[in-house]
């Protein structure tokens, strides 16, 4: 049984992958079926580890030969030593954690750098849904009804920037992806990103 490499990586994961340097140690928190880890292993020759909540995800990863443990971002990150990884990735998971600040602090403690991606609650369609329809938003990156969404801690790009500033976390790079997965152009990034970006990707580290 051989695993067919998935080179059709989701565009937001491709954008994350581009931030990872070759031949580094990487921890992917919430690694799902291991698609990103596998891509990084094959293309950037990383030494990769993963944490995944769902057993189906974990078993799929281990069966592909990836080093992945069943675990939870909220409870299991505290067991990892400081600066054990060059990059710690948390993609599309921050908004589903119980204690996002603790998780974020753990990310920049365990990793020399962290890459965090999340659905932007400041996206204009989200704002429009609330402002015009008066309903909780349903978009491509937020497909669940309010009563069955795993997302319990939404934030906007601006909120995330403010939190990083407050916790003295340095933002090295921030990207906003439009709904067609293209980048929000550079000139709008500081102002328009929070409005036009459906998803956000941050490269951060702890100020030392």
For another protein, the binding residues (CB under 8 A) are 1, 3, 49, 55, 58-59, 61-71, 76, 79-81, 84-85
**Beta strands at 111-119 and 85-91: parallel, antiparallel or unpaired:** parallel
68 vs 157 by CB, closer to another protein: 68
For residue 185, give Cα distances in angstroms to 8, 94, 161, 171.
Answer: 24, 25, 18, 18
Say if residue 73 is exposed, middle or buried (CB neighbours under 10 Å; 0-12, 13-18, 19+). Answer: buried
The closest alpha carbon to 117, from 205, 204, 47, 43, belongs to: 204
Question: Minimum distance between the CB of residue 44 and another protein, rounded to whole angstroms?
Answer: 16
Residue pair 40/26 in contact (Cβ under 8 Å)? The answer is yes
Q: Which is nearer to another protein, 7 or 79 (CB)?
A: 79
Rounded Cα gap, residues 118 and 202, in angstroms? 9
SS3 state of residue 137: coil
Indicate the residue among 84 and 138 with the shorter CB distance to another protein: 84
Smallest separation (angstroms) from another protein to the CB of 75: 10
> Between 56 and 172, whose beta carbon lies closer to another protein?
56
Cβ-contact 58, 70 below 8 angstroms = yes
Cβ atoms 93, 116 nearer than 8 A: no
Smallest gap, in angstroms, from Cβ of residue 108 to another protein? 16
CB nearer to another protein: give 58 or 115: 58
Of the pair 59, 139, the CB lying nearest another protein is at 59
Work out how close the CB of 110 gets to another protein at its nearest, in angstroms, rounded to a whole number: 9
Q: How far is the CB of 84 from another protein (least distance, A)?
A: 4
CB of 91 to another protein, least distance (A): 20
């Amino acid at each position: 049984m051989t695993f067919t490499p998935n080179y059709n990586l989701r565009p937001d994961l491709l954008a994350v992958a581009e931030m990872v340097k070759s031949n580094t140690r990487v921890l992917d928190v919430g690694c799902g079926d291991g698609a990103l880890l596998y891509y990084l292993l094959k293309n950037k020759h990383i030494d990769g580890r993963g944490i995944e909540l769902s057993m189906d995800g974990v078993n799929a990863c281990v069966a592909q030969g990836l080093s992945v443990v069943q675990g939870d971002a909220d409870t299991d990150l505290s067991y990892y030593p400081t600066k054990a990884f060059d990059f710690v990735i948390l993609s599309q998971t921050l908004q589903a954690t119980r204690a996002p600040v603790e998780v974020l602090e753990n990310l920049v403690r365990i990793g020399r750098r962290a890459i965090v991606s999340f659905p932007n609650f400041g996206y204009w369609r989200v704002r429009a849904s609330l402002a015009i329809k008066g309903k909780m938003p349903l978009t491509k990156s937020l497909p669940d009804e309010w009563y069955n969404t795993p997302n319990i801690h939404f934030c906007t790009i601006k909120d995330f920037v403010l939190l990083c500033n407050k916790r003295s976390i340095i933002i090295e790079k921030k990207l906003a992806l439009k709904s067609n997965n293209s980048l929000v152009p550079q000139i709008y990034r500081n102002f328009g990103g929070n409005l036009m970006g459906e998803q956000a990707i941050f490269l951060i580290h702890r100020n030392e």
